Amino acid sequence: MAILIIMPGRDSSALQQHLRKLAPGLDIRAWPEQGDPDEIRCAVTWNHPHGLLREFNNLTLIHSFGAGVDHLLQDNALPVDIPICRVVDPGLASQMCQYLQCIILNRRFAMQTYWQQQQEMLWQAAERVPGNSVGILGLGKLGEAVARSLVENGFTVHCWSRTEKQVNGIISHTGTHGLEQLAASADYLVCLLPLTAETRGILNRDLFLKMKPSAYLINVGRGGHLLEEDLVQALNSGQLSGACLDVTASEPLPASDPLWTAKNITITPHISSLSDPLVVAEQVLANYQRRLSGRPVENAVNRDLGY
Ligand code: GLV
């Protein structure tokens, strides 16, 4: 009976250490050193090679290393009838709140101008960037935490989600019309959606045309939410005033990609909210124990909804 960690290109040593410390005696393996495939009972994954999980005949649990599970559900050969769990951690939510406040406030205070001016030792006040309305696409655990934190900081917050949500102080929208209303009102548009067939490409030219030219786009969802060529065009033509991307279709973003040099763009390397290996280890072990003792798992993913 073994737990196999499958995270190609990503250091899993901290996760291995925590799992071994929390459950001494448990067989913890890291792909590609998987050993006998029939001994694998649980797989912890991040961007696993598609088709691989099919090799494990005795698998009882598939656990994402992060909050997102699109990397799992995009595998057409994913074993059926095995629960998939994701990480739900207030720590992830609080990192996301801090990241978004940082990006929004840096823009409001024109920090980029000051970083440039400092190169020239120039002491000169820049105008504050007006606009107090934030539109959030996606009102899951992260979206709700972000929405609440922005309301507490005096922002007007609109949210768009698949079903109507009642959250104090937040204006809820659904459907195509709701999306257009939110886009038109937003000074900052934040994408925090799960990536599903319905949300792929949602950040596109048509949506940008509904937005104010002064609006600023922030994508912390997935690269697949954005039609990147449309954004480059919108930024370079002044259709949108700026954007921040923490996720891109290709990660790492290739040096030749036109996103790097688009006007008023900030790019960060998928760091807005990082999984804590200790929390992941605790949640994996708890769910693994639940599976072994026949109890329902926590933070299970609905495969039909895609999150
Ligand atoms: C990060 O992108 C995550 O899904 O946890």
Tens digits of residue pLDDT in 118-145: 999 999 999 999 999 999 999 999 999 9
What atom of ligand 1 comes closest to residue 275's alpha carbon? 5
Among 147, 187, 150, 189, which residue's Cα sits nearest to residue 165? 147
**pTM given for the model:** 0.96
Among 207, 214, 240, which residue's Cα sits nearest to residue 131? 214
User: Which of the four pLDDT bands, split at 50, 70 and 90, describes residue 237?
Assistant: very high
169-174 long-range contacts (CB < 8 A, ≥24 apart) are: 170/139, 172/139
| Confidence (pLDDT) at 117 | 98
| Confidence (pLDDT) at 208 | 98
What atom of ligand 1 comes closest to residue 65's alpha carbon? 5
User: Which of the four pLDDT bands, split at 50, 70 and 90, describes residue 167?
Assistant: very high
Bridge partners of residue 266, in order along the sequence: 244
What atom of ligand 1 comes closest to residue 247's alpha carbon? 2
Residue 162 bears catalytic tag: no
Q: What are the φ and ψ backbone dihedral angles of 40, each rounded to 5 degrees? A: -80, 120
Of 222, 225, 295, 303, the catalytic one is 222
- Compute, in angstroms, the gap from residue 66 CA to the centroid of ligand 1: 5
Residue 222 bears catalytic tag: yes
Cα first-last separation, the chain: 28
Question: Comparing 2-89+275-293 with 90-267, is the CATH topology the same?
Answer: yes
Of 63, 86, 270, 291, the catalytic one is 270
Report d(CA 72, CA 64) in Å as an integer: 8
Digit-coded pLDDT (tens) for 31-60: 999 999 999 999 999 999 999 999 999 999
User: Across the chain, what does the average pLDDT equal?
Assistant: 97
| Confidence (pLDDT) at 156 | 98
Q: CATH second-level architecture of 2-89+275-293?
A: 3-Layer(aba) Sandwich (3.40)
CATH domain 90-267 topology: Rossmann fold (3.40.50)
| Confidence (pLDDT) at 41 | 98
The answer, yes or no, to whether any atom of ligand 1 lies below 6 A from the CB of 140, is no
| Confidence (pLDDT) at 62 | 98
| Confidence (pLDDT) at 18 | 98
User: Which of the four pLDDT bands, split at 50, 70 and 90, describes residue 69?
Assistant: very high
- Compute, in angstroms, the gap from residue 136 CA to the centroid of ligand 1: 17
- Compute, in angstroms, the gap from residue 274 CA to the centroid of ligand 1: 7
Among 44, 6, 3, 53, which residue's Cα sits nearest to residue 279? 44
Mean pLDDT of 85-94: 97
Mean pLDDT of 68-97: 97
| Confidence (pLDDT) at 292 | 97
Report d(CA 287, CA 262) in Å as an integer: 44
The answer, yes or no, to whether any atom of ligand 1 lies below 6 A from the CB of 195, is no
The answer, yes or no, to whether any atom of ligand 1 lies below 6 A from the CB of 68, is yes
| Confidence (pLDDT) at 67 | 96
Mean pLDDT of 8-19: 97
Q: What are the φ and ψ backbone dihedral angles of 9, each rounded to 5 degrees? A: 75, 5
| Domain ranges (residues) in the chain | 2-89+275-293, 90-267
CB under 8 Å to 75, separation ≥6 — which residues?
Answer: 48, 50, 51, 53
Ligand 1 atom 4: residue of nearest CA? 68
